Chains A and B, each alone.
Chain A
């Protein structure tokens, strides 16, 4: 597999000293508790693939499409590694290599979709477009950041995000919202040492 985009991040992957301080900020990790779902684990996997120590698989690829781009890991990284930018580039390399997984990216139920295009206009990541020839909504999985705006705006209930982590959609949503309400991006230690 050609990692043409993530090659440029090789130095950043060395700068990550694997301290794991990104753990506390990642709500996906908070839910599953497996290190492979945490930003550090994903960076380790990219390093391994880039240096031929581990091979891409659907299991690995799915990890990188499971991210809500809250960017708390970026903000909490003491070494300043642009973690989600790296994830976006590795997604693009995976798509180029022919991998097709959904992760948390949004989908459209074509049977329910009225092709009104509202989801296209509300998508601030320009991940959705209307394929006029085939008369359907097309989703760019590399660009989709799983923000849920399309799902919230869709009048026909056609846009949706796949359930995951052994949780129903409502339970997942509740967990994520509660986690995001817990604190801001400031290190939580600051509350304790006061």
Chain B
């Protein structure tokens, strides 16, 4: 902490935008992951110039700087593993331009996803990624993490919505990357490099995002399955049939039970459900796609298929799905929902096998795991439901995480679909990307030679996530 001159920082950014009370540092050391580590100070910029000045102060002094949006990351991306300055972007949250003619918006990084969409809705356009945390997730965090969500099967991940951005480099220089046009072949696609870089290459201070028309018709369907395998097979068949759908979500029985318990939604008590949606400007076109999905689900033993064009009914189901992650903590007394092995992507043809494998691995390692996710985009989520007070459960979780990612690699999948790497997925990431780690380190070295931008993440994260930081949970003696 002695490395930071608090008074100097107050001079740069204003005393009212600096926090160094231990209470604040403790809070800002945590996110939605299992990790915790205290920063030395928290600052809150309001302008690009302030961000530049903080970087010009921190970089020559080798002080780490960690950009933070809502702190909703599940892998510890915003946890300051090496201490330093946490740069909180919540007050840099202006929508700078809504350009309907050229179909883009320009925003500051602290704009909350839902707030942006609220502002866009009167213009009948939207910013599509829609991660489950969209009510609090900031655009800067979404880009740094390459988030996606329920509609990614049709509209893509955040990277597909980013046209360009302004970035402050480690030395304080401001660069413009990408463009405002839909296509560009103007040299290195640096905006793509910044997407998913988790704050390790530069600090995003402005983003230009693609906006698209809100479809006039949306139909949500739900199919029930008595076998998880049948639901998984439906996913691969739907996705290989050329159907133009906007959502395909899997929830297994553990996810269903947890959502019903926490939110009293009354979802059917079956082994799995698939939620599917098609959208478009003509109802007939939507109906055609929905009928194709229904036929496949029925062929795969799906039953009790419900459809709804009603916005309120759909909203209730969407809300349940979006609250699934926190609801999982209610599955069993004294268990919590730990964000571990929380996200991966696998080929469509392996969806059914992956869902079953998750449960097999969980059982073998004395934990409970669920299988759910935006399967239409190949994204499979799970969480580890465990008693965090028991030291032995962390060993169990470590083995389960290792086995899950070993399996994912063996079937041609990848370590993260949309939650990013941070700290907890770094060991699996490093195994998967072993032959490109040096290339990544070379890029990092070129852009951040002093290693001040969110150090200790991705390829530089520790090899053991259990001991990488203090865990946010406290294990207790006498509980075995």
Contact = CB atoms under 8 A, between A and B. Distances in A.
Interface of A: 11, 14-21, 23-24, 33-36, 41, 44-45, 47-48, 51, 53-55, 57, 59-60, 63, 77-80, 166, 186-194
A23 B88 CA distance: 15
A78 B23 contact: no
B153 to A, nearest CB: 15
A35 B26 CA distance: 11
Contacts of B16: 166
A189 B26 contact: no
A50 to B, nearest CB: 9
Interface string B191-228: 00000000000000000000000000000000000000
B60 interface: no
A24 B329 CA distance: 21
A63 B133 contact: no
Contacts of B24: 34, 36
Contact of A33 (B71, B91, B114, B312): B91
Contacts of B312: 194
B433 interface: no
Interface of B: 16, 19, 21-24, 26-28, 30-32, 44, 70-72, 88, 90-91, 112, 114, 117-118, 121, 126, 130, 133-136, 262-263, 311-312, 314-316, 318-319, 322-330, 333-334, 336-337, 339, 388-389, 472-474
Given A19-B32, A19-B72, A48 B133 contact: no
A190 B472 contact: no
Given A41-B27, A45-B26, A18 B472 contact: yes
4 closest cross-chain pairs (CB), A and B = A78-B323, A78-B326, A190-B315, A194-B311
B23 A193 contact: no
B143 to A, nearest CB: 18
B130 A193 contact: yes
B326 A21 contact: yes
22 contacts: A14-B336, A16-B329, A17-B32, A17-B325, A20-B72, A21-B135, A21-B326, A33-B91, A36-B24, A44-B27, A45-B23, A47-B472, A57-B21, A57-B23, A60-B23, A63-B23, A78-B262, A78-B327, A80-B262, A186-B315, A188-B118, A194-B314
A51 B474 contact: yes
Nearest to A63: B23
Contacts of A190: 315-316, 318-319
